[in-house]
């Protein structure tokens, strides 16, 4: 093949290859290997009277596009995704699909920003909420008739409950209910909700996609081109766009997502198993543990169990003692980065009350697992000593 001939991305490569090869500039002589960061607020018009296709950098930016296309391909659609200023901007875009006064089925527990936004919109009369336990499929199905949209986050932050996404999506389709799935915890490497009937996938790209705790960004992926056009129009008018450098960093992070997730997930699986053996707490949630109440459903739906573990102590004080006893896990909010983080979630006033006071969420990173286990043992000793 001549150097001048553009090379298309080969179909049917495995996801671990795709994260490396998607979103590259055309392979022509002297082309850069990586997309350049385009720092320009406007673009030159095609003639004196008419804007070019790009117009203004709130409408489009060439640095977003490789990332938008790559995440969409990984999620299994050729409709490009849409990049947003944050995961919450992406979540807001999802709720913007509900007509004023519309009915939304939401989980009682999910990322507290999502729940907070939904409740605030409801308090303002913009929408009506039906709160459900997303793991209770009968309850969810009973809430669907007459609804406009159902919001799922699975596995859910931070309880790690798993919803039956295919069954809920199938029932939602029968009732004409739009299905949104926040896929932040699983990433498209472990779960592809569009392929089992969801309409919209939302990501906090801040987490596993960017992967280095140095970017705030969100992404929405849909499989319907008309829906994308609607979201694009709204993003342009709402101005909820990412900076080009953030999009570039997220794409750079994506290159190693498969490696990072493999390692962090293997670490999480081993830590969860060792925690299970060690005890010293009242509950342990990790969908990969055979003893976890949602293990069977997770095993049926996910290609991997992720890198988040929740440990529940019998009090906030004991949970705080556990966190204070850790030296390697950094006490900080967020997750999905290369470094291990820990926090007691109810320290946030906004955290849903269904989350136990003593719940500690571990975001397991890519460090050596024995070092991490030695650290967890320090935390358990500090909690036991209280
Ligand atoms: C599941 C989930 N969705 C959305 C968000 C919001 O993302 P961001 O912080 O990038 O706005 C978060 C943040 O923690 C999250 O955990």
pLDDT of residue 301: 97
Tokens, residue 39: 């720092």
CA dist., res. 187 & res. 300, Å (int): 16
pLDDT of residue 50: 75
According to DSSP, the residues that pair with 71 across neighbouring strands are none
- Burial (CB count <10 Å: 0-12, 13-18, 19+), residue 159: buried
pLDDT of residue 10: 62
pLDDT of residue 51: 75
Cis peptide before 266 (omega within 30 of 0): no
Tell which one of 152, 183, 204 to mutate to probe ligand 1, the residue whose CB is within 8 A of the most ligand atoms: 204
Q: Check if 216 has its Cβ closer than 6 Å to any atom of ligand 1.
A: yes
Residues 6+ apart with CB under 8 A from 305: 190, 265, 268, 269, 286, 287, 288, 298
Is pTM beyond 0.85? Reply is: yes
Instruction: Determine how β-strand 341-344 pairs with β-strand 359-363.
Output: antiparallel
CA dist., res. 194 & res. 25, Å (int): 27
Sheet holding 102-107, edge to edge: 82-84, 218-222, 200-204, 178-182, 149-153, 102-107, 127-132
User: What's the CA-to-centroid distance between 5 and ligand 1, angstroms?
Assistant: 41
User: What's the CA-to-centroid distance between 111 and ligand 1, angstroms?
Assistant: 7
Handedness of CA 284, 287, 288, 294 (dihedral sign): positive
Q: Check if 88 has its Cβ closer than 6 Å to any atom of ligand 1.
A: yes
User: What's the CA-to-centroid distance between 9 and ligand 1, angstroms?
Assistant: 30
Q: Check if 68 has its Cβ closer than 6 Å to any atom of ligand 1.
A: no
Q: Residue 27 half-sphere exposure, CB side, CA atoms within 13 Å?
A: 10
| Shortest-distance Cα residue to atom 2 of ligand 1 | 111
pLDDT of residue 2: 37
Ligand 1 atom closest to the Cα of residue 88 is 11
Find the distance separating the first CA and the last CA of the chain, reported in whole Å.
68
Domains of the chain, earliest start first: 18-254 (3.40.640.10), 257-384 (3.90.1150.10)
Would you say 209 and 254 are in contact if contact means Cβ atoms under 8 Å apart?
yes
Q: Check if 305 has its Cβ closer than 6 Å to any atom of ligand 1.
A: no
Positions marked active-site: 58, 111, 182, 207
pLDDT of residue 3: 39
Tens place of pLDDT for every residue, the chain, 386 residues? 333 444 445 668 999 999 999 999 999 999 999 999 999 999 998 877 777 789 999 999 999 999 999 999 999 999 999 999 999 999 999 999 999 999 999 999 999 999 999 999 999 999 999 999 999 999 999 999 999 999 999 999 999 999 999 999 999 999 999 999 999 999 999 999 999 999 999 999 999 999 999 999 999 999 999 999 999 999 999 999 999 999 999 999 999 999 999 999 999 999 999 999 999 999 999 999 999 999 999 999 999 999 999 999 999 999 999 999 999 999 999 999 999 999 999 999 999 999 999 999 999 999 999 999 999 999 999 999 99
User: What's the CA-to-centroid distance between 174 and ligand 1, angstroms?
Assistant: 30
Residue 291: how many other CB atoms lie within 10 Å: 10
Ligand 1 atom closest to the Cα of residue 217 is 10
Residue by residue, DSSP assigns 348-376 as STTS-TTS-TTEEEEE--SS-HHHHHHHH
Residue by residue, DSSP assigns 82-107 as EEESSHHHHHHHHHTTSPTTEEEEEE
User: What's the CA-to-centroid distance between 152 and ligand 1, angstroms?
Assistant: 13
């Amino acid at each position: 093949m001549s150097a001048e001939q553009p090379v298309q991305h080969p179909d049917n490569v495995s996801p671990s290859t795709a994260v490396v090869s998607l979103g590259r500039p055309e392979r022509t002589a002297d082309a850069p290997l990586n997309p350049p960061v385009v720092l320009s607020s406007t673009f030159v018009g095609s003639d004196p009277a008419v804007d070019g296709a790009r117009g203004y950098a709130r409408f489009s930016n060439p640095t977003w596009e490789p990332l938008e296309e790559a995440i969409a391909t990984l999620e299994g659609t050729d409709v490009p995704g849409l990049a947003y200023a944050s995961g919450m901007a992406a979540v807001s875009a999802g709720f913007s699909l509900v007509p004023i006064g519309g009915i939304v089925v939401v989980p009682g527990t999910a990322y507290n920003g999502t729940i907070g936004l939904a409740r605030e919109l409801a308090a303002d009369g913009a929408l009506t909420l039906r709160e459900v336990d997303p793991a209770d499929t009968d309850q969810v199905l009973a809430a669907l008739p007459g609804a406009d949209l159902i919001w799922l986050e699975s596995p859910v932050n931070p309880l790690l409950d798993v919803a039956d996404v295919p069954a809920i999506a199938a029932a939602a389709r029968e009732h004409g209910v739009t299905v949104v799935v926040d896929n932040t915890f699983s990433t498209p490497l472990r779960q592809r909700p569009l392929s089992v009937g969801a309409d919209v996938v939302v990501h906090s790209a801040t987490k596993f996609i960017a992967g280095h705790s140095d970017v705030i960004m969100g992404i929405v992926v849909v499989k319907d081109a008309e829906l994308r056009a609607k979201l694009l129009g709204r993003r342009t008018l709402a101005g909820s766009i990412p900076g080009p450098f953030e999009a570039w960093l997220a794409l750079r992070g994506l290159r190693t997502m498969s490696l990072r997730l493999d390692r962090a997930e293997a670490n999480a699986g081993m830590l969860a198993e060792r925690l299970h053996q060690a005890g010293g707490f009242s509950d342990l949630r990790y969908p990969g543990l055979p003893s976890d109440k949602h293990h069977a459903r997770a095993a049926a739906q996910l290609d991997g169990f992720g890198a988040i573990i929740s440990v529940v102590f019998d009090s906030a004080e004991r949970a705080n003692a556990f966190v204070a006893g850790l030296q390697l896990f950094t006490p900080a909010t967020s997750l999905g980065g290369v470094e291990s983080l820990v926090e007691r979630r109810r320290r946030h006033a906004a955290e849903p009350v269904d989350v136990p006071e003593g719940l500690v969420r571990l975001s397991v990173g890519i460090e050596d697992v024995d070092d991490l286990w030695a650290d967890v043992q320090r935390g358990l000793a500090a909690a036991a000593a209280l």
